[in-house]
Structure 1
Amino acid sequence: MPNAPHDTPQAEVYNERMPPTHVVEIERKFEVSDGAALPPLQGLPGVAQVDQPDTQILEAEYFDTRDLRLASEQITLRRRRGGDDAGWHLKLPGAGGDRHEYHHPLEEDDAVPESLLRLVRVHVRNQEVGVVARLRTQRSLHRLRNKRGELLAELADDLVRAESLVPERRSQHWREWELELKNGSRTLLEAGQGLLASIGVKPSRHTSKLGRTLGENLPSRRQGSPATGKSSAGDILRSYLTEQVRVLIEQDPQVRLDTKNAIHKMRVATRRMRSVLATYRKLLNHRNEAMYLRSELKWLAGVLGGARDAEVMHERLKKMIAEEPDELVMGPVARRIDLELDSDYREAHGKVLRALDSDRYFQLIDALTALLDTPSFSKMGKKSARKVIPDLVDRDAARLREAVEQARKNPAGIGDHPALHDARKDGKRLRYAAETASPIAPKKAAKLIEAAHGVQKILGDHQDSLVTRSMLRRLGAKAAADGENGFTFGRLHALEQTAALEAETRFHAEWKQFPAVSLRK
């Protein structure tokens, strides 16, 4: 934010881990003239009464980095005084124009609450955060209720005076309407939008008041260009990596909040990127760049893996216990599993949080975004994807076939055959290579993706069995040391041995149906 006044104290961070309150904001904004009259709202679906308008004065300060990293991603972080929801508000974009809103109460300290700041660390990283805009809003709030008096929606008639501090002071004012759902249906929202359209009121061009305040100074959001069959090989790779980086960044706050499946989604994104950077490394001009990124993505996937493995194993063992006859579950088996694996998960999740706050992680994000923003492709990367990509995918298919041939030389067993492990990894690599190549031959790629995923899933079951058996040995030993009956742990171990043998047998049978597909014309 060059030459920005930043005349309020620099936003500091205090160390507190109280989770913020979360709501999903579903609203629509409308541009209106100063003299526009609000139409009757009682005819909207489900609305029986509209309260007399409540006048409020809202004063807000918006926080961001000097280069407006949050605003560029349509994220707003503000401190508001006045109105029904005074406090700190963080809004993250969601699907279909909805926004995820996180609240933290006002406190004597002016520092940005750590509970909110940590949810945008992936964007701001080590950059300082300070005030970039101030708004004063005179709000006339109309509350829409049903016959039982329940609040369905609110229509806010706002007179806004805004001051942008970047790159220099600039003031403006405008009027807007906001229709926000509370307990009403989307049918009400759509009907309200239709009612306003009928009197000539148009939806706002801006997703937030901050966006309108910043105007032309608002950086454009990174939008990856969709790859097509006519794209260069490098652009095919860039398009795929753009999507995976988006997933990684999107899941970062959800991992910090410990949202279900967030670690899994982030881990898969890191694995996808690491894999395709191996398959398509020759498309990049600087091989060391791909090597660095693959190394760091391996580190991140490994950190995430500890927590994910504890999740998967816990779910797997709970399911097995639930399916066992009561007379075969001897002792506090479920309780021991819960205590041990909950403890493992909490410890592993703590390691994940420390990793996500590390300079190493921030440098990885910087390197990934730099690759997307200013890629340097080799001569091969600049060639037509249709001429280059099929050969690289064929090589991965050959790797998988070689790994499977090695696996077939080993007799079926309950151990961890390295060749089976290699086949699982090579199946995954082929799947991700084919996903990347989808734009050049969608139908053929889809067939290859499905087949490779089948290999990955069956051998993944085999690997899960191996890891679970190791855990069962640990649990059984602890149970015995504490004087508990270890019978059930031994029985589950035997069941997992059987599951491993069945997975291996199933794999060899289904491999015979693996298609000989090439993406060549």
Structure 2
Amino acid sequence: MADVVRETERKYAADDDTTLPDLLVRGVGTAVEQGTVRLDATYFDTAAGRLAADGVTLRRRTGGGDDGWHLKLPVEPGVRDEIREPLSGGPTSGDVPAALAALVRSRVREEPLVPVMRLRSERRVLHLLDASGALLVEVAVDRVRAERLPGGGTAAWTEIETESAEGAPAKLLDRIGKRLRAAGVRRAPDTSKLARALAETGAPDGSAAGTEAHGEVVHPVKPPRPYGDPGPTAGEHVLHYVRAQRDALVFLDPAVRRGLPDAVHRMRVATRRLRSCFRSYRRVLDRAATDPLRAELKWLAGELGVDRDHEVLTARLTERLAELPQGLQPGPVRLAPVRARLLAPAAPTGERPPLAATLDGARYLALLDALDALLREPPLRPKASRPAAKATAKAVTRDFDRLATRVGRALATPAGPERDTALHEARKAAKRARYAAEAARPALGKDAKRQQKRMTRVQDLLGEHQDGVVAREALERVAREAHAAGEETFTYGMLYASERALAEGYERELPALWRKVADAAPL
């Protein structure tokens, strides 16, 4: 099992003769010298610098107290997760641990990881402790020598790093930084040593390396929000949104593999946004190119959704159990088989490959490559050259009209399974209308933002209804199984009635909500 360290640090430019000022700021009790260590790190990347372009570093380092392989994944500016594996292989062997190689696969795809840089550092370490002797901040003065591999240029510099220990006060790095600046030490960009080394050594052939990722635009450290000023045309706006979602897939891949909270859901949402965008803006991007991508994105969403849907259903039914009237709740002995049936997956997990295997598979990697290719050579239709505000407004209005038709059809359908189906179709239309407005926000501003919020309210209500439909179907299934096994089914009936009552409430709420939404113009 890899060790994971959340790294929050600041960097400062220094000279060889720079001395540290008194850093006993408020909250710090003592400063203890830890001596000097020598570090020797070899960094790995693809030949085109895909990891560096994404702000990711992968190294094999000896020296100090954390010998081993270190993968640093950006979380937000100035914050990275450092994932560590034990030392293995030689400094130029390329024997990257499989666990770390998997975490960068969405970025490197099938490209080999090779040594690109060697950094040798002489590090003087100072620990700032609180009154009880607990570590608050590690201050390091690093004298660094960089050597481009194989056989490239060299560079040397001195820098100061301040790294916050887990649980240290959030403002402590600010106070220390203020003291350093007062002593004449200037803040350096929040870039890794590798990024600086790449910039200062130059590529072996004299070209600029690490400036491209996946064959085109460099990915930012964080997947950008789909807002901003991408350009004046509809095509530029739509591609800006598509790029943001592609970046989100790449960015979230390691988090999904690590099982981080909400990562699967967020990655699934990115696939939905892409599919909705390709549908809503088919007059901007050619369907001949986007329809195959939509099909593959639907497949990926399905793979991501198996475990997620079970989690949602489990949480919902657990909540319903807790809401049963006190006198009707089964005792612990009778509750055990109820929970076992309700919380078991609908199908054994052995019937499908684990999610990590899907993310390692050729089909998923081909999908990422296809998205890159679309962004590199976008299949723009003639209307893509039109002003963004006009084209996106029409798309938002079309999707709203489509939603209105489906809501009207659902409200006119008698209660029962047919209405459930009609409401589910309306929910999907609300989701599409929401994402169309989201993609239009750079062009339409507050109008699109308001429409997005209105569509979200409709989608949320219809989503709750659909979750209840799924829960009732699950309750019917497990009740039949329990009956066949000779178990009591009264509790399942109570839960079913509870879900039915909730569904009726959502259906009563919908007409008033829809009137409010319909009275407001889409834009």
User: Same fold by TM-score, threshold 0.5 exceeded?
Assistant: yes
* Mapped partners of 1:267, 1:441: distance in 2: 26
Q: Give the distance between the partners of 2:353 and 2:25, measured in 1 at CA.
A: 49
Residue in 2 that maps onto 1:466: 469
Equivalent position amino acid for 2:507 in 1: E
Determine the C-alpha separation between the residues in 1 that align with 2:256 and 2:341.
Answer: 22
Of 52, 59, 64, which residue of structure 1 is paired with 2:45?
64
- Rounded to whole Å, the distance in 2 between the matches of 1:339 and 1:421 is 26
Residue identity in the other structure for 1:235:
E
Give me the whole-angstrom Cα distance separating, in 2, the residues matched to 1:78 and 1:340.
46
Please say if 1:391 is aligned against 2:394: yes
1:318 and 1:334 in contact (8 A); partners too: no
Q: How does 1:29-428 map to 2 (within 5 A)?
A: 29-41=11-23, 43-107=24-88, 111-165=95-149, 168-183=151-166, 184-205=168-189, 207-215=191-199, 216-219=208-211, 221-222=218-219, 227-228=228-229, 231-284=232-285, 286-330=286-330, 331-333=333-335, 336-337=338-339, 341=343, 343=345, 347=349, 350-413=353-416, 417-428=420-431
Alpha-carbon distance in 2 for matches of 1:188, 1:62: 31
| Conserved 8 A contact 1:314-1:338 | no
- Secondary structure of the residue aligned to 1:205 is coil
User: SS of 2:283's equivalent?
Assistant: helix
DSSP-derived class of the 2:297 partner: helix
* Preserved CA contact (<8 Å) 2:43 2:59: yes
Read off the aligned partner of 1:383 and give its amino acid letter: R
Q: CA deviation at 1:439?
A: 2.4
C-alpha contact 1:80 1:86 (8 A) present in aligned 2: yes
RMSD of aligned residue pairs (Cα, Å): 2.4
Q: Distance in 2 between matches of 1:474 and 1:491?
A: 14
For structure 1, the residue ranges without an aligned partner over 5 or more in a row are 1-17
Equivalent residue letter for 1:21: D
Cα distance per residue 1:269-308 (max 9 Å; x no partner)? 1111101110101112x43111121111111111112111
Aligned equivalents of 1:346, 1:510: Cα separation in 2:
40
Provide TM-score, normalisation by structure 2: 0.89
- Larger CA deviation: 271-280 vs 170-179: 170-179
Residue aligned with 2:256, SS? helix
> Would you say the 8 A contact 1:412–1:505 is kept in 2?
no
**CA shift digits 1:183-239 (9 cap, x unpaired):** 432322111111111222122236111111111533263357954497211111122
CA distance in structure 1 between the aligned counterparts of 2:335 and 2:352, rounded to whole angstroms: 24
Alignment of 1:437-456 (within 5 A): 437-456=440-459
- The 2-side partners of 1:95 and 1:165 are apart by 29
Give the SS at the match of 2:111: coil
- Percent of pairs identical after alignment? 39
Q: Structure 1: how far apart are the matches of 2:270 and 2:389?
A: 25
Letter in 1 for 2:503: A
Distance in 2 (CA, whole Å) between partners of 1:147 and 1:344 is: 55
For the 8 Å contact 1:416–1:466, the answer to whether it is kept is no
CA contact (8 A) 2:59 2:70 kept: yes
SS in structure 2 at match of 1:74: coil
Q: Give the letter for the 1:176 counterpart.
A: E
Contact 1:448/1:515 (CA < 8 Å) preserved in 2? no
For 2:461, the aligned partner's letter is I
Is the 8 Å Cα contact of residues 38 and 121 (structure 2) preserved in structure 1?
A: yes
Answer with 393-402 or 507-516: which moved more. 507-516
- Residue 27 of structure 1 pairs with residue 9 of structure 2: yes
How many Å separate the matches in 1 of 2:231 and 2:54? 29
Per-residue CA shift, 1:232-262, capped at 9, x if unaligned? 1111112222222222222211111112211
> Would the alpha carbon gap of residues 497 and 442 (structure 1) be closer, same or farther in structure 2, given more than 3 Å must change?
same
Secondary structure of 2:47's aligned partner: coil
CA contact (8 A) 1:61 1:133 kept: yes
8 A contact 1:230–1:384 mirrored in 2: no
Question: Which is worse superposed, 485-494 or 109-118?
Answer: 109-118
Please state whether the residue corresponding to 1:438 is helix, strand or coil. helix
Report the alpha carbon displacement of residue 170 of structure 1 after superposing the two structures with TM: 1.7
Shift of residue 78, structure 1, vs aligned partner: 0.9
Change in CA separation of 1:211 and 1:314 when aligned onto 2, cut-off 3 Å: same
Quick one: which amino acid aligns to residue 219 of structure 2? R
Distance 1:507 1:93, change over 3 A: same
Runs of 5+ unmatched residues, structure 2: 200-207, 213-217
Q: Normalized against structure 1, the TM-score is what?
A: 0.89
Q: 1:334 to 1:394 in 2, by over 3 A?
A: farther
Contact 2:268 2:301 in 1 (8 A): yes
User: Take 1:297 and 1:291, find their aligned partners in 2: how far apart are those partners?
Assistant: 10
Q: Classify the secondary structure of the residue corresponding to 1:515.
A: helix
